[in-house]
Amino acid sequence: MIQEQLTNPLVILLAILVLVCFTAFCWEYRQLANVKKVITTLLPTEQKEKAGNIRQMLSLLVSHVRQKIQASKNLRQDAETENKSIAYHHKKLRAVLEVFPEGIVILDQAGTASFANKKIESMMGITCSDVIGKQPHDWCTNEKVLSLLVRYEGNVTRLRRSETVEFSPNDQKGKTLAVTMSPISLPSKPDVTIGILILFRDVTAEAMAKRSRDDFVAHVSHELKSPLNVIKMHSELLQDVGDDPQHRTSSLNVINDEVDRVSNLITDLLNITRLEVGNVSISRKRIRFRDFISDVFEKMKRMGDKNNIQFSLNLPQSLSHLSIDKDLFRIALNNILSNAIKYNKPGGMVTLEAEENNDSIVLRISDTGVGILPEDQKKIFEKFYRSDDDDVISRNGHGLGLSLANEIISLHSGSLTVESEKGKGTTFIVELGKTSTLLKEAV
Amino acid sequence: MEKRKVLLIDDEPHVISVLKHFLIKSGYEVDTASNGFEALQKVEKQMPDAIVSDIQMPKMSGLEFSQQFRSDFAESDSLIIIMTSRTEQDFRDKAGTLENVEFFEKPLSPKKMVIRLKKYFEEMECSA
C-alpha cells in the first residue's frame, strides 16, 4: 500500500515540491544571514549590539543613514559659510592692497604678475591690465627696474632675500622711486619661494633730503677749507720770502682776513644750525625798538666808514616797543646792513627807514650798490647760494648771511623781502607784526 | 731751453698769487684764469704743459673744465692737477675717469705742488 503510494506520481510530485521548498527556504535563510551581516557592517559599532532581527536592524540602519545625511548637510552649510568668509577676507585684502600708498605687483611662481594695484598706474604710467597675467619684460619699460626683474623671470625661487634699486621714472625725471623685490614664502615652508612681492615707493622727499644734507656737508667743507687753504699757502709764502716787507705785510693781512672769514662762517653756521634744529631758546624781551635800531645802525656805520659809504637813518619820532630776541635780531640786521655796505659802490649810500602802522613796523634797508639780478632774487635766501654775477664773485662771502637773517625774522613771525634793480641798488624790507610779537610774549 | 707753461685756475686771488710766486721762482711760465670758462679761452691761444685747477668755481667748475678740455683737446697730454678736499668725493669720482688727472688735497702746500710738477716734467723729458 505504501509502495503504491510511493510510486504515485502525485505523491512523487508533492515530495519533489516539498524538497524544492525546503531547499529554497534554506537558500533564503542563508541569503538573509548574508544581508544581516552586510547591515551589521553598515551600522555604527555602538548600535551593532542593539540590533536583533532584521527589521530592527533595518530601522537602525535607516535612522543611521538619516543622521549621516543630516551631518553631511550641516557640513555643506559650514563649507558654504567658510567659503563666503574666505571670499570676504580675500576681497578685504585686495581692497587693502588697492588703497596701499605704495605700488604693488605680485608675481606668481612662473614670474607672471597675478596682482597689481592702482597705485602703479600713477607711479609707472601703466594700467593694471597692462601688467596682470604678463611677464615683467611685457610691462616694465624702465631699463634699471627691468634688469632687476628679469633676473628672476621664469624662476622666482632664485630670489632669496629682498633687493632694492632706486630709479627715476622715464617720464618724470625729477622723481625718485625705489623698487623692492621680496620673496614670498608660506610660514610653514619658509625656504620655498612661491612668488615675488614688488613694492614701488616714492622716495623723492628722502632722496632730496639726503642730497641736501650731502650738499650742505660739501658746502661747509669747501667754505671751511678755502680760507684754511689760503692761510696755509700764505704761511709758506712768509717762510719763503723771509724779511721782504712788502710780501710780509700783504700775507699777514690776507691771513688776518681769512681767519676772520673762517670765524664768521663758524658763527653763522652754528647759529643757523641751532635755529634749524629748533635748539635755540629765544629770549624775547620787550625793548625800545627805536633805540635798538639806532644802536645797531651806528655800530655798522663805523664799519662802513672805512669804505667811504654815506649813511642815513630815518626813524619816526617814536616807535612802539616790541618783544624780540635782541641778540638774534641784531645778527639779522647786521647781516642785511653788512651786505648793503659790501655790495655798494664806492661813495654809495646806505639808508635805514622805519615806518609804523596799526599792525606792524616796517624797516626798509636800502643801498645804491650793484643790485641783484632778477633770477637771483628768488634764490638769495637759500643756504649757501652765491650768484655767478661778477659783482658778487669779486666780493668775499659764504652765502649764509641772508639765509640766517630770513630764519631769524621768520622766527619772530615777520617777513623779509627784497626789491632790487641790477646796477642801481637793493632794498630789503623787514615787516614785523606788532600783535604777533605781543601775543608771543603773552604765551 | 723753453720754459714749461703752467695754467693756474682758481677764483681765489690769494691762492693764485701764492702759487704764481712759487711757480715763477721755480722757472715756469705762468698764466692764470679765474674759472673754467676763462681757462678754456686761454688754452685755445696757448696750450700749457700742466694745469692746476680749483674744483668749485663760478661759471665753470674745475670738473667741467677738465671734461671739456679732454674732449676738445684730445691730442693734448697736459697734466691736470685738481685742488680739492676729500669730502668732494663726487667730483673726484667723475674727474678720476679722465686721463692724466691728479688730486691735491686742501689745505695744500705750494712747495709740494712745485715738487710734483718738477718730477712730472723730469719724467716727461726722460720718456721723450
- Listing DSSP states for A129-143 in one string gives HHHTTS-HHHH---H
Q: Return all residues near A9 (Cβ < 8 A) that are at least 6 apart.
A: none
Give the rounded percent of residues in chain B with a pLDDT score beyond 90: 60
Q: Which three cell numbers stand for residue A252?
A: 699777514
Superfamily name with CATH number, domain B5-127: Response regulator (3.40.50.2300)
Residues on chain B touching A393 (C-beta within 8 angstroms)? 11, 34, 58
3-state helix, strand, coil in chain B (%, to 5): 45, 20, 35
Cell 723729458 belongs to residue: B125
In contact, A177 and A201? CB cutoff 8 Å: yes
- Collapsed DSSP state (helix, strand, coil) of residue A356: strand
User: Yes or no: is domain A285-442 CATH 3.30.565.10?
Assistant: yes
The secondary structure of A83-148 as a DSSP string is: HHHHHHHHHHHHHHHHH-SSEEEEE-TTS-EEEE-THHHHHHS--HHHHTTS-HHHH---HHHHHH
CB contact under 8 A, A233 and B108: yes
CATH class for the domain made up of A100-202 = alpha beta
pLDDT recorded at residue B10: 93
- Collapsed DSSP state (helix, strand, coil) of residue A316: coil
- Collapsed DSSP state (helix, strand, coil) of residue A428: strand
Q: How many residues are listed for chain A in this entry?
A: 443
Residue A304 parent element (H or E):
helix A289-305
CA distance B19 to A406: 38
The secondary structure of A376-416 as a DSSP string is: HHTTTTSTT-----HHHHTS---S-HHHHHHHHHHHTT-EE
CB contact under 8 A, B107 and A233: yes
CA distance B39 to B58: 12
CATH class for the domain made up of A208-276 = mainly alpha
Q: Which three cell numbers stand for residue A188?
A: 610653514
Residues on chain B touching A226 (C-beta within 8 angstroms)? 12, 106
pLDDT recorded at residue A171: 74
pLDDT recorded at residue B53: 95
Binding-site residues on chain B for chain A (CB distance < 8 A): 11-12, 14-15, 18-19, 21-22, 25, 34, 56, 58-59, 83, 85, 87-88, 90, 106-111
CA distance A341 to A320: 28
- For chain B, what are the domain ranges? 5-127
Of B25, B58, B107, the CB nearest to A229: B107
For residue B20, what is the nearest residue in chain A, using CA coordinates? A237
pLDDT recorded at residue A360: 92
Q: Which three cell numbers stand for residue B19?
A: 702759487
Alpha-carbon radius of gyration of chain A: 48
pLDDT recorded at residue A3: 62
pLDDT recorded at residue B125: 84
- For chain A, what are the domain ranges? 100-202, 208-276, 285-442
Q: Return all residues near A40 (Cβ < 8 A) that are at least 6 apart.
A: A48, A51, A57
Q: Return all residues near B81 (Cβ < 8 A) that are at least 6 apart.
A: B50, B51, B52, B53, B101, B102, B103, B104, B113, B116, B117
Cell 535607516 belongs to residue: A62
In contact, B104 and B113? CB cutoff 8 Å: yes
Residue A15 parent element (H or E):
helix A9-42
pLDDT recorded at residue A103: 92
pLDDT recorded at residue A415: 94
- Collapsed DSSP state (helix, strand, coil) of residue A305: helix
Instruction: Tell me how far apart the terminal alpha carbons of chain A are, to the nearest angstrom.
Output: 145
Residues on chain B touching A233 (C-beta within 8 angstroms)? 14-15, 18-19, 107-108, 110
- Is the N-terminal amide bond of A374 cis, ω within 30° of 0? no
CB contact under 8 A, A217 and B107: no
* Type of residue found at B12: E
Give the distance from residue A392's alpha carbon to the nearest chain B alpha carbon, in angstroms: 10
pLDDT digits (tens, 9 = 90+) for A343-357: 999 889 999 999 999
- Report the 10 Å Cβ neighbour count for A288: 14
More confident residue, B51 or A126: B51
Q: What is the pLDDT along chain A (443 residues), one digit of tens a residue?
A: 566 666 677 877 887 888 888 888 878 778 878 877 887 887 777 777 776 777 787 888 888 889 889 999 999 999 999 999 999 999 998 888 888 889 999 998 888 899 999 988 888 888 888 899 998 888 888 888 888 888 877 777 888 888 898 988 877 777 889 999 999 988 888 888 889 999 999 998 888 888 877 777 777 887 888 889 999 999 999 999 888 888 889 899 999 989 988 888 888 888 887 777 776 677 788 999 999 999 999 888 877 766 788 999 999 999 999 999 888 899 899 999 999 999 999 889 999 999 999 889 999 999 999 999 999 998 999 887 888 788 887 777 778 889 989 989 988 889 999 999 999 999 999 999 886 555 544 44
For residue B56, what is the nearest residue in chain A, using CA coordinates? A222
Angle, in degrees to the nearest 10, between helices A54-99 and A9-42: 30
CB contact under 8 A, B88 and A218: yes
In which band, very low, low, confident or very high, does the pLDDT at B114 lie, cut at 50, 70 and 90? very high
Q: Which three cell numbers stand for residue B89?
A: 668725493
Per-residue pLDDT averaged across B31-57, rounded?
93
Angle, in degrees to the nearest 10, between helices A326-342 and A401-411: 140
ipTM value = 0.86
Smallest CA-to-CA distance from B101 within B119, B85, B78 is with B78
Of B18, B56, B108, the CB nearest to A234: B18
pLDDT recorded at residue A441: 47
In contact, A399 and A386? CB cutoff 8 Å: yes
Q: Which three cell numbers stand for residue A309?
A: 659809504
Of B14, B56, B87, the CB nearest to A230: B14
Per-residue pLDDT averaged across B59-71, rounded?
90
